[in-house]
Chains A and B, each alone.
Chain A
Amino acid sequence: MLEIKNLHAGIDGKEILHGLTLSVGTGEVHAIMGPNGSGKSTLANVLAGRPRYSVTAGSVTYEGKDLLSMPVEERAREGVFLAMQYPVEIPGVNNIYFLKAALNSVRKHRGEEELDALEFLQLARQKMKVVDLDEAFMNRAVNEGFSGGEKKRNEIFQMAVLDPKLAILDETDSGLDIDALRIVAGGVNALRSEKHSVLVITHYQRLLSYLIPDFVHVLANGRIVKSGGKELAEELEQKGYEWIEQEVAAGA
């Protein structure tokens, strides 16, 4: 599904990822953990194509295609979804209208028929239940007046509607209480199948108790320094990131 090879990338001319290599197979859930400033968010943003981030070396292949050469919206239409760390407010555009426009542009790209308002509403209502969002939210402007937790749940709701092939969660668990965390995990677990891959970027082990990853990678100083199974996340939680840094230093 996704092959990242020797990726060097950064923001505003400052290199943050120094040769990252990662392979995510179809149907797999990978967690990427690491301390602040290790490059976790840079990786997410580079994959989605956020402006100001630039790639200086390496390649990213997504379903056999060169992901980095695609414009942002094409990546989205090809099924790459980024649940953002800081979902922004879009004033004046109501949530449901926004999502319908998004879904239809994705469907059009796939050669599927566009959904009319009624069909869309049906789908949206069904997915809304998954994330326990009140329908009143849907008629407000995108993310406007949403609390931090509601914004994150809205990201998962959008993910559920758009049904991406590769979902990237950039610190979606930050600031969530345990109930919201279960909801987010439930949303991702509902998406899990042999056709969908998920990349969970997180600072904490908490989310991974509900969303059991197939692989856990530790990112430090712009490289993956350790990979393992779900037990690696628990070890990290107990020993802290200093442990990894020491281990890497010892190994170097």
Chain B
Amino acid sequence: MSNTIEQIANQEYKYGFVTDIESDVAPPGLNEDIVRLISAKKDEPEWLLQWRLRSFRQWLTMKEPTWANVHYPPIDYQASRYYSAPKQKRALNSLDEVDPELRRTFEKLGISLEEQKRLSGVAVDAVFDSVSVATTFRVELAKLGIIFCSFSEAVREHPDLVRKYLGSVVPYTDNFFATLNSAVFSDGSFCYIPKGVRCPMELSTYFRINTAGTGQFERTLIIADEGAYVSYLEGCTAPMRDENQLHAAVVELVALDGATIKYSTVQNWYPGDKEGKGGIYNFVTKRGKAFKGSKISWTQVETGSAITWKYPSCILQGDDSVGEFYSVALTNNYQQADTGTKMIHIGKNTRSTIVSKGISAGHGQQTYRGAVKILKSAVDARNYSQCDSLLLGDKCGAHTFPYIEVRNPSARMEHEASTSKIGEDQLFYCQQRGISAEDAVSMIVNGFCREVFRELPMEFAVEAQKLLSVSLEGSVG
């Protein structure tokens, strides 16, 4: 019976293959020349190069943060490569020109780059190592004035928008990993939804790390203009390797007056093997700024990575703005996650909701770290926080650190936290009522995550549920 719990910890990683493709890679190491090289590879304007260099110089003065409850050997930032791109024709005239090997890779990952096989209306930007290789449905979206393209392309085609908003939510001085990203980011997605437009399909970026010894540093910028609406999805995988690979992304969201941005992530980077060897180090800075009457909603399902360090946050700047954070994080084997959110209430009548569900199995260690700040100016602010941990077996751990800072007495705060353990007793109870151990665990895990899953767009909810149930396959002895 306790085998069932162990077997959950022993799930297979299905996305661990490597694509054999010739790549254009930068030599390992990090210095100003590498920063210049990345900028040159992308034909960037001078202002962006200077921004990168300022970031790099800032980074040199910073120390890696140690407050998070994650433990890993020191990272040698000089050993990693900061640029890798599959060799292909410079400019693609149509999606048909995407390298068939790449196309097969994404298909194997369940991401079709063919518009005919559209996944019930999802436009995809596929990012392979450092570059975006394809973006679907661009023409259709352009008809509505929606810009959805790779970040590099946005720099070329829409420099004013990029210049106006880049670093406006996460300044290049923000934190060690965000500053590193600002210096060396390679590609990512850009999207702009014009005033009053409701984006008719889900926009999605699929990130794939392929080349060994490469770090991925993507940058995503989403701007929803006044009254606009967009739902954006992000998925990630990487091959199985014994070494650890670094992923340090930055995501900036700008929701102008009355806009809504819904940002969903299913993160399934390679978590390392059963002994904790290999896996992605995932250090991500995600933040949104919400103007008057706007809403930013983060939903994340984090099942991968050896280490996850991630706090999608909302700056509720405008009056009546709303921030939400729904999260399921699973740590297995020797995975570690320190994740949570920050809700900063500045405007009047701002509201935030935090629902965090942590599942730890195997030797997994997990920390919820959440901050809710109600500033003096935030009259009638409201927050609801719920933070639940589920332990599968007795070798894993869960820790909760809620920070609450209230500077305005009209605030209405609700906080709930729980820790439950699924052990022999719970399984025995279910089995004694005639339910098999496998069904019992799946019932418990899905029931536990229900509140978060229902926030995900349909396709993602199915995928997320699959990700968590994969772990149960073949677990009946």
Contact = CB atoms under 8 A, between A and B. Distances in A.
A–B interface present (Cβ within 8 A): yes
Interface of A: 48-52, 71-73, 75-77, 81-82, 84, 86-94, 97-99, 101-103, 105-106, 109, 141, 158, 162
A77 B429 CA distance: 13
Contact of A76 (B388, B418, B432, B450): B432
B12 interface: no
B426 A88 contact: yes
A82 B429 CA distance: 9
Contacts of B446: 92
A141 B447 contact: yes
Contacts of A77: 434
B58 interface: no
Nearest to A159: B433
B420 to A, nearest CB: 4
B207 to A, nearest CB: 30
Which one of A51, A76, A90, A141 has the greatest number of beta carbons of chain B within 10 Å? A90
Contact of B390 (A91, A99, A105): A91
Nearest to B423: A88
Interface string B421-440: 01011101111111111010
Given A50-B428, A92-B448, A101 B420 contact: no
Interface of B: 1-2, 388, 390, 418, 420, 422, 424-426, 428-437, 439, 443-450
A75 B432 CA distance: 8
Given A51-B1, A101-B439, A91 B447 contact: yes
A49 B429 CA distance: 11
B424 A52 contact: yes
Contact of B433 (A49, A141, A162): A162
Contacts of A48: 428, 432
A158 B429 CA distance: 12
B436 A73 contact: yes
Contact of A92 (B432, B439, B444): B444
A144 to B, nearest CB: 9
A91 B432 contact: no
A105 B440 CA distance: 12
A119 B312 CA distance: 44
A77 to B, nearest CB: 5
5 tightest A-B contacts by CB? A92-B447, A92-B448, A102-B433, A72-B431, A76-B434
Contact of A91 (B2, B430, B444): B444
A133 B435 CA distance: 23
Contacts of A72: 1, 428, 431-432
Given A88-B426, A92-B444, 16 more contacts: A51-B1, A51-B424, A72-B431, A76-B433, A76-B434, A82-B432, A88-B425, A90-B429, A90-B444, A91-B448, A92-B449, A93-B447, A98-B433, A105-B434, A105-B436, A141-B447
A90 B446 CA distance: 12
A88 B421 CA distance: 10
B434 A162 contact: yes
Given A51-B1, A84-B429, A94 B447 contact: yes
Nearest to B420: A91
Contacts of B435: 73, 98, 101-102, 105
A1 to B, nearest CB: 18
A58 to B, nearest CB: 21
Contacts of A162: 433-434
A52 B420 CA distance: 21
A91 B429 CA distance: 13
29 contacts: A51-B1, A51-B2, A52-B424, A72-B431, A73-B435, A73-B436, A73-B437, A76-B433, A77-B434, A86-B425, A88-B426, A89-B420, A90-B426, A90-B429, A90-B430, A90-B444, A91-B390, A91-B420, A91-B444, A92-B450, A93-B443, A94-B447, A98-B430, A101-B439, A102-B430, A103-B434, A106-B434, A109-B434, A162-B434
